[in-house]
Structure 1
């Protein structure tokens, strides 16, 4: 029996979310934005939303393994039309929930290999990925797969922390090391790298010196406050140009007042409004995939973090859907 989510007589085209005027938002499976599962649209989608419930790479509070499903639950309130980008993303492109990539929680190296292989499979269908973590360790295997498809990619990394440290307790693969490994492996375009929202104490000034040698520019959270979101977004667009772009967002880029549910909170972060507006200012960039990580619902209050994360993923998905539609129309 077919598992296609289209109803008899429904015209061909993207299958959208469940109609909330007929089925209450709190009812039914919690796929992202109440979208169809990947198997319900024939196994292929333009944008696949995939969870990676892995947090063995954390250095402080665990719990991000539950982040993907918390984001999905919060996304029940998302609606089909995005007025900020004047787009109905789920009508412009087929977006579907691809479920979770299950990785070994007791072996980081094996988990990294599993995530990389599963990402290869999903990208091989032609989809772009909106990945819900999990901790930031998962960015490295995803970037490996993305670079195999697109070559070295530009990176915008929204985070309180640099994540370019070398090792923790001798471990090369952790949530604080993915972008050093990515630079070492040649999978990032080092002429187009930037951290956004960084702040807080470091181990030493050498951290910044090492980071600069890798090619990263830095826009701190204080820079965003002083210069404003429009100027920051314009600077980032100029740095990226038309290169294939990967965006990686650690939810701790937000101030704990906006996102308490994360493993390594730092004071002085972005507001959720600032993050969303910067992302909207990146519309038109060649966004090939993205991730959103470090949502730890056990520390969340009234789902504040999960709600912010769901809207962040929605903006990223809208950017990809708009670009896909524009490419098809060209």
Structure 2
């Protein structure tokens, strides 16, 4: 944000204040309905600036299933989130209306039909003017979300946090899986190919040509080892130069984190980012125009002590804060435009 931008360090005055999360001074974190961060449901507010939506779908996985239970597990872990975000010096829920839109039903027996259902559900939410914070589900759902987002914003920059490339062509002949969404998105013209980045990739591949094919699609790669050697600030600087002012979609596969920080995922790989590194990279993107985001591949059945769910809830909280800050800034700019 520019120096002259408004701050979000106190509750906004007046009757237009959004409906905030349930106040934890009078209600305990572990009581009541489990919406994300205890925000109101979408049907409890007139409109939402940011809609949190779950997609309980995992029929596209190639290894361990279970991400269909991820969205609600993230919601449960988010009960501890509080109104003020000191890392970004902001009250993300008090300046813009954040609401939980519930879940989109996706057919677990028919991937093509599921993709169509997710796309239609995202179209409906985006048509209200809301930005999306999607809780997966497996990474297959990124394709229909990107279709909807690109319909509204045109081809978008993509920042993809993941242990894996997810640009494979097919898996056992299937075009729509959690390993193929960004190949399909590039083929369909949904992405601005001058502003695509993977962050946190590592592990073995089927062949060296996987990297060549990925490069041809336009992706740049910051590996997990790059983050360790170069540090967060240098990586953030590179990413922001590549993204520029373009509309940006951020997709976070929780397996970008090392299994020590995220054991509850379908395809874990050793040598990943720490939670701290990932959160600091996300926080560093405050100048970027984030139009929507997702956090996917949380599989709570493998998540001892809810480590992964807690991490995912904090990642989503930081992404929501980014979007809320930008919404406030754009409103301020519009209010100060010459008449």
Q: Please classify the TM superposition score into its range, dividing by the shorter chain length.
A: over 0.9
State whether structure 2 residue 321 is matched by structure 1 residue 318: yes
2:223 corresponds to = 220
Which residue is 1:23 aligned to? Answer: 27
Counterpart in 2 of 1:33?
A: 37
Offset at residue 12 of structure 1 (A):
2.7
| Alignment match, 2:253 | 250
Equivalent residue in structure 2 for 1:118, among 121, 145, 151 = 121
Give distance in 2, aligned partners of 1:301 and 1:247. Answer: 27
State the alpha-carbon separation in 2 of the partners of residues 306 and 14 from structure 1. Answer: 27
For 2:45 and 2:236, locate their aligned partners in 1 and report how far apart those are by CA, in whole Å: 35
What SS does the corresponding residue of 2:173 show, helix, strand or coil?
A: coil
The answer to whether structure 1 residue 14 and structure 2 residue 8 are counterparts is no
Out of 144, 149, 169, which is 1:146 matched to? Answer: 149
What is the aligned partner in structure 2 of residue 172 from structure 1? 175
Runs of 4+ residues over 3 Å off in structure 1: none
Could you list the per-position Cα deviations for residues 143-162 of structure 1 after superposition, in whole angstroms to 9, with x for gaps in the alignment?
Answer: 00000000000000000000
Unaligned runs of 5+ in 2: 1-13, 334-339
Deviations 1:95-130 (A, max 9, x none): 000000011100000000000011000000000000
Quote the residue 1:108 is aligned against.
Answer: 111
Give the drift of 1:257. 0.1
Map 1:215-294 → 2, pairs under 5 A: 215-294=218-297
Partner of 1:213, secondary structure, is: helix
Give the length in aligned residue pairs. Answer: 320
Unpaired stretches in structure 1, ≥5 consecutive residues: 1-9
In structure 1, C-alpha distance between the alignment counterparts of 2:24 and 2:258, rounded to whole Å: 32
Matched residue, 2:310: 307
C-alpha separation in 1, matches of 2:240 and 2:19: 32
Secondary structure at 1:303 match in 2? helix
Q: CA deviation at 1:86?
A: 0.5
Deviation at 1:92, TM superposition (A): 1.6
Distance 1:11 1:186 in 2: 43
Distance (Å, rounded) in 2 between the aligned partners of 1:302 and 1:247: 27
CA RMSD between the two structures: 0.7
Q: Secondary structure at the match of 1:156?
A: strand
Look up the SS of the partner of 2:305 in the other structure. Answer: coil
1:160 paired with 2:163, answer: yes
Q: 2-side partners of 1:265 and 1:169: how far apart?
A: 21
Q: CA deviation digits over 1:266-325, x for unaligned, max 9?
A: 000000000000000001210000010000000001000000000000000000000000
Counterparts of 1:140 and 1:281, CA distance in 2: 26
**TM-score normalized with structure 1 length:** 0.96
Distance in 2 between residues matched to 1:235 and 1:318, nearest whole Å: 22
What is the CA-CA distance between 1:11 and the residue it aligns to?
Answer: 2.7
**C-alpha distance in structure 2 between counterparts of 1:72 and 1:284, whole Å:** 27
Please state how far the C-alpha of 1:178 moved relative to its aligned partner: 0.1
When normalised by structure 2's length, the TM-score is: 0.94
TM superposition shift of 1:141: 0.2
- 1:185 counterpart = 2:188: yes
